[in-house]
């Protein structure tokens, strides 16, 4: 039986942080992004408003900043080993994140079959962000369906990994889910739960689950 493993990025593959936080840190905008993150977590802003505000914060962003943020981020251990194992088993792995696509898509070089994020203009920015390209939690399910069609699978063949309520819609649409260092609300929705810093150990919980 072939499966599709769907990974969140912020707080899941990235330990206790998010791509926008790591990018903002490179620009010395730690306080500004912390305030914006609080507004997002408490639902004072939605994903599209968040994207527009972070786009304004990153007026001086360059490819060097993005590369430094990616390379210096606190990733979970053994991500590439886990994805290599999934590939060796003839299964698929993909990342779906609300974070900017220019950061998320770098994970295809680590072995993900696909990586989807919110569409931002090219760095450095010379255009505004288009709200239509910004992903929402519900969009994760839509992208999962497109990936299933691409690989000849169905939702019944999917395993989801996430950490927060932005993953709740996806967890509710697949039979197997792993709450990774998750808040209590998402953990209550998951079929499995993992706390730690090694993706392989989270994957082991569902490696043979059907």
Domains, in order of start, for the chain? 4-15+74-204 (3.40.50.1000)
- With cut-offs at 50, 70 and 90, classify the pLDDT of residue 10: very high
Residue 91 CB neighbours (<10 A): 19
pLDDT digits (tens, 9 = 90+) for 141-172: 999 999 999 999 999 999 999 999 999 999 99
**Mean predicted lDDT score pLDDT of the chain:** 96
Is residue 50 predicted with pLDDT exceeding 70?
Answer: yes
d(CA 42, CA 4) in angstroms, rounded, equals 31
The share of the chain scoring above pLDDT 90, in percent, equals 95
Across the range 75-80, mean pLDDT stands at 98
DSSP 27: T
- With cut-offs at 50, 70 and 90, classify the pLDDT of residue 114: very high
Measured between alpha carbons, how far apart are the two ends of the chain, in Å? 9
pLDDT digits (tens, 9 = 90+) for 51-66: 999 999 999 999 999 9
Across the range 168-196, mean pLDDT stands at 96
Is residue 210 predicted with pLDDT exceeding 70?
Answer: no
Of the candidates 95, 100, 96, which has an alpha carbon nearest to the alpha carbon of residue 112? 95
- pLDDT for 43 equals 87
């Amino acid at each position: 039986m072939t499966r599709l493993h769907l990974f969140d990025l912020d707080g899941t593959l990235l330990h206790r942080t998010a791509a926008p936080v790591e990018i903002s840190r490179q620009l010395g905008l730690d306080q500004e992004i912390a305030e914006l993150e609080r507004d997002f977590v408490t639902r004072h802003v939605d994903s599209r408003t968040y994207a527009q505000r972070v786009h304004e914060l990153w007026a001086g962003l360059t490819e060097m900043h993005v590369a430094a943020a990616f390379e210096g981020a606190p990733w979970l251990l053994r991500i590439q080993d886990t994805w290599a194992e999934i590939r060796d088993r003839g299964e698929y792995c993909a990342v779906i994140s609300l974070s900017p696509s220019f950061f998320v898509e770098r994970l295809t070089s680590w072995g993900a079959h696909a990586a989807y994020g919110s569409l931002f203009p090219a760095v450095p920015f010379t255009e505004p962000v288009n709200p239509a390209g910004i992903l929402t939690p519900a969009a994760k399910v839509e992208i999962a369906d497109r990936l299933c069609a691409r690989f000849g699978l169905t939702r019944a063949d999917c395993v989801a990994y996430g950490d927060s309520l932005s993953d709740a819609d996806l967890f509710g649409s697949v039979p197997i889910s792993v709450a990774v260092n998750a808040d209590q609300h998402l953990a209550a929705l998951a079929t499995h739960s993992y706390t730690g810093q090694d993706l392989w150990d989270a994957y082991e919980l569902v490696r043979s689950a059907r």
